[in-house]
A = this chain, B = another copy of it.
Amino acid sequence: MRNFTYSIPTTIYFGKDKLEEIIPEVKRYGKRVLITYGGGSIKRIGLYDKLTALFKQNDIFYVELGGIQPNPRVSSVREGIALCREHKVDFILAVGGGSVIDASKAIAAGVTYDGDVWDFMIGKATVKDPLPLGSVLTLAATGSEMNGSAVISNEETQDKRPMGDPALRPVFSVLDPVYTYSVNKWHTAAGTTDIMSHIFEAYYTVDKDVEVADYMAEALLKVCIKYGPIAVEEPENYEARANLMWAGTLAINGLISYGKAGGDWATHMIEHEVSAIYDLTHGAGLAILFPVWMEYVLDERNSWRFAQMARNVWGVSEIDDMKAARLGIAEIRKFFSSLGMPATLKDVNIDGQHIPVMAKKATIFGALGNIKKLQQADVEEILRRAL
- Residue numbers of A with Cβ under 8 A of B are 1-18, 21, 177, 208-212, 215-216, 218-220, 222-223, 226-227, 238-239, 242-243, 246-247, 250, 255, 258-259
Q: Are B209 and A215 interface neighbours, CB within 8 A?
A: no
* Contacting residues, chain B, for A6 (C-beta < 8 A): 10-12, 14
A209-B5 contact given A14-B259, A259-B246, CB 8 Å threshold = no
The 4 closest A-B pairs by CB, nearest first: A3-B15, A215-B219, A209-B239, A6-B12
Copies of this chain assembled into the complex: 2
Return A20 CB to nearest CB of chain B, in Å. 12
- Enumerate chain B residues within 8 angstroms of A210, measured Cβ to Cβ: 243
Complex Cα gap A6–B8 (Å): 10
Given the known A-B contacts A15-B4, A218-B219, A239-B1, are A212 and B9 also in contact in the complex, defined by CB atoms under 8 Å?
Answer: no
Interface centre among A15, A212, A220 (most CB of B within 10 A): A212
15 A-B pairs, CB-CB below 8 angstroms? Answer: A1-B15, A1-B177, A1-B239, A2-B15, A3-B15, A4-B15, A7-B12, A14-B258, A209-B242, A209-B243, A215-B218, A215-B220, A216-B250, A219-B219, A246-B258
Q: With both chains docked as a complex, state the minimum distance between the C-beta of A316 and any C-beta of chain B, in angstroms.
A: 16
Given A215-B223, A219-B218, A259-B242, A4–B14 Cβ distance below 8 Å?
yes
Residue of B nearest to A238 (CB): B1
List chain B residues, Cβ under 8 A from A212. 219-220, 223, 243, 246-247, 250
Contact B11 A5 (CB under 8 A): yes
Q: Which residues of B contact A8 (CB under 8 A)?
A: 8
> Which chain B residue shows the least CB distance to A177?
B1
